[in-house]
Amino acid sequence: MSIEQQVRDYILENFLFTNDASVLANDASFLEKGIIDSTGVLEMIFFLEQEFALKVADKEMIPENLDSVNNIVRYVQSKQAGVVS
């Protein structure tokens, strides 16, 4: 399964509590849409660290990395490529 699909499934099930894929656009801001709040982002970080075997540094906990499906995919790919975001 692609990173994008894994992230989408996770967000849909765990924050939107649905399997209706149409309710989540890949470029939708989690903050603006009220999908994820400050404790939700910690849950998501646990998920990313577990699923993709990476470590999210405190300074990387920023919307540019975590605030949409697209941002997360880009961030995970850069971490896996060894590029510090």
String marking each residue 19-38 x if it binds other proteins according to CB under 8 A: x-----------x--x-xxx
Does 63 contact other proteins by CB under 8 A? yes
Q: Which amino acid appears at position 53 of this protein?
A: A
Counting Cα atoms < 13 Å in the Cβ hemisphere of 83 gives: 8
Structure-block tokens of residue 9: 């499934």
Does 18 contact other proteins by CB under 8 A? yes
Does 54 contact other proteins by CB under 8 A? no
The four Cα atoms 18, 25, 60, 42 give a dihedral, to 10 degrees, of -10
The correct pick among 5, 21, 26, 46 for binding other proteins (CB under 8 A) is 46
How far is 15 from 79, CA to CA, in rounded Å? 24
CB nearer other proteins, residue 17 or residue 81: 17
Does 13 contact other proteins by CB under 8 A? yes
